[in-house]
A and B are shown apart, each in its own frame.
Chain A
Amino acid sequence: MSSHMIILSISLLAGLSSPPTHVRAYLDPGSGSILLQLLIAGILGAFLVLRSSWGKVKTFFSRLFSRDVDKTE
């Protein structure tokens, strides 16, 4: 398991002690299921945002770099 997966798993386990939630539906979505879902989705969402931001940072620098290359030519 990669290191970020281990961090994810620890955050998940830690998050299970957070306060619970309730949603009204014709089927009981299950308290534990809703809680865990909020947690996992939150973490996955945060990773997604981080990943796309990281992409932007990389693109910024690579453009900067390619411009520098252009200038030297």
Chain B
Amino acid sequence: MRINDLVGASFRDPSGFLYRREGILYRQVNLAYREQYKQLMQSGLYDDLVQAGLLIAHQEVEVEPAEVVLAYKVLKPQEVQFISYPYEWCFSQIKNAALTTLEIEKRALKFSMTLKDSSTYNIQFQRGRPVLIDTLSFEIYREGKPWDAYRQFCQHFLAPLSLMALGDVRLSQLLRVYIDGIPLDLVSKLLPRRSYLNFSLLSHIHLHAAAQRRYAGKAVTQEASGRTMSKTAFLALLDNLKTGVRSLRWNPSGTAWGDYYEETNYTQLGMEHKKQLIGEFLDAIQPKTVWDLGANLGLFSRIASNKGIKTIAFDVDMGAVEQNYLSCLEKQETNLLPLLLDLTNPSPAIGWQNHERMSFLERAPADAVLALALVHHLAITNNLPLPHLAEFFHQLGRWLIIEFVPKADSQVQRLLVSREDIFPDYTVETFENVFAKRFTILRSATIRDSHRRIYLMERR
């Protein structure tokens, strides 16, 4: 087995690991995890969680293990549509992932099992819902033993949620720096004083940070103290964490794009024409996956997702992603996943050897990319030359549905109001020439009642 075949994030837990062979994802279960795996499958916990949509399903398969000496079984897990990370999630996505983790732990205890870790990275959004993807996260529960994953739960979930709710929603980006959750002493320092009035935050963040400081580097034994934690106490702790998570709220009003679609300059006719063109282009190419970049509230993403296409709606604004996600929940949409992404500084590869968590570009390509009312923001607000944009989109997908908003448009005029126009090449002719070097332009049309043009391109 070459180390390159192993999945980058799968090396910490001796219970098993993920690997790819001929493009198919497998999970090896090691002999060290035999008893735990048997209990997961035979106790009814696996069926309970899979039926409730809380755990990813798998099949046991007869293929050669990656590490024969260690192997007990090989599993073929159901593949997740798109791997996303907590620093790409909006507030409610992190909150729902946290509540899902607590629900799984509560159910596990009923079957005499417990989660041995509670990393946000073990949760992924599948068909719109958070689901545990690490089948080997369970260990056998022994009465009296505390929750090993408690520290991780506080750092991975409670920490970002409390900072976002009581501090500033942008603090979720600390998760990009701290791969094992935000250090609690930092969270304690950043939270406002009123957080001391919230019992859950007082105990699980502030006092927790104090306890960590006090016992840092001290070798301690549970046996020596003789302390145990009853199941009632365990359940009370989970209940309190749940209450704590539920009490945290964030309202997206007042963010940069507060008015969202009200700020567009389309006429009703223009808007309908644009939607119609996007629908026609999608029907012509029949993509299986679509990435909508700068998706806002997902108006155009839904043209794709409503056709049954697996669609990701990326936006730089947390408020837009939050509202989009809440709409998805309300409408029970399963083909649309809203995510937070700054295209001018997309998610990097992070972790050990930069291999644990994939960069945005590593997760490309999609079948088709939508870049609607986006180019002027990148080219003018961010001074990105058009050839750089063509190169970027070329890496992202086979097909590109892109809108060019010329200087005559009032939205571009607005961007140029307070700055010198240093963009003599920002013209429809240059745009077409530059993109034609990387793409074949299959179709194009001018949107009614506007100066804007929309194109369907295929990469060369």
Contacts and interface: CB of A to CB of B under 8 A. Distances in A.
A41 B145 CA distance: 11
A69 interface: no
Nearest to B232: A45
Contacts of A62: none
A9 B202 contact: yes
B227 interface: yes
Contacts of B233: 41-42, 44-46
Interface in B285-340: none
A45 B296 CA distance: 45
B215 A37 contact: no
A35 B237 contact: no
A60 interface: no
Contacts of B13: 26
| Most interface-central of A44, A46, A47 (chain B CB within 10 A) | A44
Contacts of B236: 41, 44-45, 47-48
A31 B12 contact: no
B211 A36 contact: yes
A22 B212 contact: no
Nearest to A22: B221
Interface in B135-181: 145-152, 154
Contact of B224 (A12, A19, A23, A36): A19
Contacts of A9: 199, 202-203, 207
| Most interface-central of B229, B230, B239 (chain A CB within 10 A) | B229
Contacts of A22: 219-224
A13 interface: yes
Given A16-B207, A41-B236, A44-B240, A34 B152 contact: no
B447 to A, nearest CB: 54
Contacts of B229: 37-38, 41-42, 45
B225 A27 contact: no
Interface string B221-253: 111110111101111110110000000000000
Nearest to B146: A37
Interface string B116-129: 11000000000000
Contact of A40 (B117, B225, B240): B240
B218 interface: yes
B412 to A, nearest CB: 52
Nearest to A52: B232
Contacts of A21: 146, 220-222, 224-225, 227
Contacts of A26: 12-15, 116-117
19 contacts: A18-B225, A19-B220, A21-B222, A22-B224, A23-B148, A25-B116, A27-B117, A29-B147, A30-B212, A31-B215, A32-B210, A35-B215, A36-B208, A40-B237, A41-B234, A44-B240, A45-B232, A47-B236, A48-B239
Interface of A: 1, 5, 8-9, 12-13, 16, 18-23, 25-27, 29-38, 40-42, 44-49
Interface of B: 12-15, 116-117, 145-152, 154, 197, 199, 202-204, 207-208, 210-216, 218-225, 227-230, 232-237, 239-240
Given A31-B219, A44-B236, 5 more contacts: A8-B203, A27-B149, A29-B148, A29-B150, A47-B236
A-B interface, 9 closest residue pairs, ranked by CB to CB distance from nearest: A45-B233, A20-B220, A21-B222, A33-B151, A32-B211, A44-B236, A22-B221, A32-B212, A32-B215
